[in-house]
Structure 1
Amino acid sequence: MKKISRRQFIGRTAAGMGAAIAFSQLPAQILMQEAASFNDIPIGFQTWSVKEMLAKDFSGTLKMMAGMGYKIMEMCSPAGYATNGFGPLVDIKPADMKKMIEDAGLKCPSCHFGFGELTDHLDERIEWSKQMGLTQMVCSSFWLPDAKALKEYLDDADKLNKAAEKINKAGMATGFHNHEMEFKMLDGQLIYDALLKQLDPKLVKMQFQTEVINLGYKASTYFKQYPGRFISSHLSDWTADKKEVPIGQGVIDWKEFFAAAKTGGVKNFFVEMSLDKFKDSAAYIKSI
C-alpha cells in the first residue's frame, strides 16, 4: 500500500528591502511548494488485483502498471499465496524477481505474508524478503472471521509481536493489514482498537485499508488518533451506496487523507481495486 512530504517551509533571513521582497513572495512560494508535494506522491499498487496477469506475464504486467504512472508495488508472498493465483511465481528466485521489478521501472518495498508464514516459516520468509530488497513485511491478517472471543485475536497479536522482533532485527519493519472483520465488536470492544493496544507499537506498524469507510470508519481519523502507528495504506474509493469507483470519485476526502497520513507515519500507498480503475486512480492522485 511511497511517502509524501507536505508543507515544508524554507525560511531565510535577509536585511532591508531584500527581506521585504522575500516576505512579499512567501505566500506564492508556499502554494507552489504545497502543490508540488502532493504531485510528488509515489503511487503504488497491490499485486493481488492483477495476480492472474502476473502469473501469465510477470514482466509485461509490471511494465503495464508502470505505464499507468505507478512507481512502487506491494507483492504477495508467492509461496504463501500459491493457491491464490501466485503459484506460477514460486519458482522465480527472489533476486531475479527483484531485477524484473526494477527493469520495469518499479520498486517493491513491501510484501504481504499469511500469518502462518510468519509463525511457522519465519526464517525462510525473512531470507526471501532480504533477497527481494524489502523494507516491510506485512501480515495480511490473522483471518479469524468466526472468532468467538477477543482473546483469539489478542493471542495472535502476541505471536506477531514475537515474530516482529526477529523481522526488525533483520532490518525490516513489520506491518499488520486490516480487513472489515477487524472493525466488528467482540467482547464489548472494537477488534481493531484492541489490536492497536495489543500489538507493540515499537515492533508492529499498521497498514490501513480504506475500504472500511463502508463501515463508517475513516483512515484519517485513525492517523490523527494514533500518530506514527502506521506504515502504509491500501487505497480504494467507494460511493455512498458502497460501489467501488476510481480514487477521487467516491466519498473519501483524499486531501484530508494524505495530510493525515503524514501524522500517522504512512510511508507507502498501494491502490487495490479492480484493474479497470487503476489508470484513473493514478491520474487523480497525481493531480491533487
Structure 2
Amino acid sequence: MKLGVQTYTIRKIFKKDLLFAFDELVKLGIHDVELARVDLNNDLIATMNKKKMSVLSIQLKLKEINKNYEKLVHFCKQVNCNIVVVSVLSLDAILFGKKAVIRFCNRLNELSKKYEKHGITIAFHHHNFEFKMITKKTKLDIIMAHTNEQVKLVTDTYWTKKSGIEPHELLLQYKERIIGIHLRDYMKNSFRFSTDCEVGYGLIDFNLVFENIPESLRYMVIEQNSNYPIHSLTKSIKYLKEHHREKINL
C-alpha cells in the first residue's frame, strides 16, 4: 500500500520554499503526496518531476473542483493523478439538515460523471460534521446512501475518533467505498481539548486500523496540524516502519 504525506502538513514550508519542502520529504523516504493547500501550477509540476515525486490525489473544495474543471483535468493528466477529493462539506450541508446534505450529494454525483469521462475518480473527505445525527442517521450515512458507488470516501482517523467512533469500525462499515485514509492520531490535552498528534502517540489503536484495511483502498497519507511538521512526520514514519512495515510501501 502506498504511503505518502498530505501537503497540508507542510503547507508553511511549501509556501516559503517549494524545492526545500520536497527535499525534506525525500529525506524521510517519502515520494508520494496528496496535494492540498498548494497552487497547482507548472512550477509545482517541474519541481515534482525534478524530485521524482508522484501525486496520489488532489484535495480541493467542491466549488474549486467544479469551477476549474478543464484546468484540473489538464493538471491531473500532467502529473498522472486519477483521484480528486472534495475536501469538505458545503456550508449549507454543515449548517442545515437532510435536504441540504442531499443537494450536496447531487453535486458530488454530477462531478463524478464529469470527471469519470477523463478516468478521474471523485472522492469525499469527511471531518466531524458528518457524524451529526439527523433523522436517526448520520450525515455521512446519508451521503453514502445518496451518492453513486463511483463516488468514493477518504476517511480520516482523527476526525472519526473525535466523533466517538473507532476508525476501524468506519473502515468496516464502508469498506467497499473507501479509497484513501488520512492517518492522524488523537489526544486530549490537560484542558480536555482534543488535538491531532503523531501517528502511534495518541489514543487510536492503529493495529485495528491496519488489520481492517479494505481491499478498495488505494492510498494512505500522514496528515497533522503541527508547528514542527518535519519533526512530527519523522515520529509518525518511525512508528509506522516499526509497527506496520508489512502494510506500507515506504
Question: What is the TM-score when the length of structure 2 is the normalising length?
Answer: 0.86
1:100 aligned residue:
47
1:267 aligned residue:
218
The one of 227, 236, 241 equivalent to 1:286 is 241
The one of 33, 43, 52 equivalent to 1:73 is 33
Following TM superposition, by how much is the alpha carbon of 1:195 offset from its aligned partner in structure 2, in angstroms? 0.7
Number of residue pairs the alignment of both structures matches: 233
* Residue ranges of structure 1 left out of the alignment (5+ in a row): 4-41
Following TM superposition, by how much is the alpha carbon of 1:146 offset from its aligned partner in structure 2, in angstroms? 4.8
CA contact (8 A) 1:122 1:163 kept: no
2:200 aligned residue:
248
Greater strand share, structure number: 2
Following TM superposition, by how much is the alpha carbon of 1:138 offset from its aligned partner in structure 2, in angstroms? 0.6
Write the distance in 2 (CA, Å) between the matches of 1:192 and 1:146.
11
The one of 88, 103, 108 equivalent to 1:155 is 103
CA RMSD of aligned residues (A): 1.9
After superposing on structure 2, the runs of 4+ consecutive aligned residues of structure 1 that deviate more than 6 Å are none
Matches within 5 A, 1:21-40: none
Q: Deviations over 1:222-280 (max 9, x none)?
A: 221222211101111012553432111112121221221234x2211111111141110
CA contact (8 A) 1:66 1:105 kept: no
CA contact (8 A) 2:89 2:126 kept: no
Write the distance in 2 (CA, Å) between the matches of 1:247 and 1:154.
34
Q: Deviations over 1:79-107 (max 9, x none)?
A: xx5xxxx4xx45x31xx523422432421
Residue identity in the other structure for 1:258 = F
- With over 3 angstroms needed to count, the CA separation of the structure-2 counterparts of 1:246 and 1:146, relative to structure 1, is closer
Question: What is the TM-score when the length of structure 1 is the normalising length?
Answer: 0.75
Instruction: Establish whether residue 122 from structure 1 lines up as the match of residue 66 from structure 2.
Output: no
Residue identity in the other structure for 1:124 = K
Task: Indicate the structure (1 or 2) with the bigger Cα radius of gyration.
Answer: 1
SS at match of 1:261: coil
